[in-house]
Structure 1
Amino acid sequence: MAATSREVVEQVLRAGREMDTETFVSLIAPNGHIEWPFRPAGVPDRLEGREKIREFLTAQAGKLVKFEEYRNTVIHETVDPEVVIVEYDAHGTVVPTGAPFHQTIIAVLRIRDGLVVSYRDYLNPLVLAETLASAGNAR
């Protein structure tokens, strides 16, 4: 029996926080996608397919931000059993500078047959732009 949508989201969050790319990618459907509707220049708006997602996450892993914990996590189950909305505060460190990192995130995920088919990540683009700028200055 496939995991519930909520259980899949919990696994996705844990893999993201632990920066466990392989587990994260294994939870994505082969033709699934991730979108960042609000993002600074240089960040893709959409990645389609498990392999493209793996390539992007592997290239980025541990280079910009190291997540230490997610706080204030709230998982909202909806009337559509495939759709889950999650809110959380990501706390960590900007790797190149050692500066603290804090990002509030809302994500909307669609889970089908125990796999993520759609992950829309609404992060604050200003925090990410500042982080990218500070990392660029540290190099």
Structure 2
Amino acid sequence: MPKTKYAAYKAADPYFNLVRRALGNLVDGEHFFDIVTDDTIYEVLYDLGWPRVIRGRAALMDAFNGYVEIINLQSADNLVVHTADTGYVVVIEYEVHGTVLATGTKYDNRFCSIIHLENRKIAHWRDYMDSHAAWSALTPRSRQRESL
């Protein structure tokens, strides 16, 4: 993996490595950002501070820059890969484990992502996650009690 080109994103490497491993020989490129199209669409079906739809590789890189300023991932595991449409659609289930940098709170979350490939790159990504796990890790305990 090119270490210097994407060094600023090191805190998300466990996620990037898991995705790259999941897609194997279905895509070309070493790093996650190398395997997305320039006009990729990255869609998240939850509302926790990320834009619901990110359009383009450059915008996706900007979004991940913000992510690594908040969370440092130590690992990503429990990968399950399902392929469909003769490899043009891949569904991955996985977990990430890390730390919220501002508070030191543990961050553990589960995801299911539906990936559409075109020309051996990610053209569209639709993400589902355990929103409560993210909210619990990112929201101070005092605010959690207030909202109950």
Same fold by TM-score greater than 0.5:
yes
2:131 and 2:137 mapped to 1: Cα distance? 10
**Correspondence 1:84 to 2:90:** yes
1:71 and 1:55 mapped to 2: Cα distance? 25
Aligned-partner SS, 1:127:
helix
Structure 2 counterpart of 1:133, from 115, 124, 139 = 139
| C-alpha distance 72-60 of structure 1, shift in aligned 2 (>3 A) | closer
The question of whether the paired residues in 1 share the 8 Å contact of 2:17 and 2:31 is answered with no
Gaps of 5+ in 1: 1-11
Q: Scaled by the length of structure 1, what TM-score is found?
A: 0.74
Which residue of the partner structure matches residue 63 of structure 2? 56
Structure 1 counterpart of 2:51, from 44, 54, 59 = 44
The question of whether the paired residues in 1 share the 8 Å contact of 2:19 and 2:32 is answered with yes
2:36 and 2:131 mapped to 1: Cα distance? 24
Aligned-residue RMSD, C-alpha: 2.5
The question of whether the paired residues in 2 share the 8 Å contact of 1:15 and 1:24 is answered with no
**Correspondence 1:117 to 2:123:** yes
Q: Scaled by the length of structure 2, what TM-score is found?
A: 0.70
1:47-80 deviation per Cα after TM superposition (whole angstroms, max 9, x unaligned): 001111112212332x221111122111111134
Percent of aligned positions that are identical: 21
The question of whether the paired residues in 2 share the 8 Å contact of 1:73 and 1:88 is answered with yes
Larger helix percent: 2
Structure ranking higher on relative contact order (CA contacts 8 Å, 6+ apart): 1
Structure 1 counterpart of 2:42, from 26, 34, 37 = 34
Count of residues in Structure 1 that have an aligned counterpart in Structure 2: 119
Gaps of 5+ in 2: 1-14, 21-29, 144-148
State the Cα distance separating 1:120 from its structure 2 match: 0.7
| C-alpha distance 74-15 of structure 1, shift in aligned 2 (>3 A) | closer
After the TM superposition, which residues 16-27 of structure 1 pair with which residues of structure 2 at under 5 Å, given as runs?
Answer: 23-27=31-35
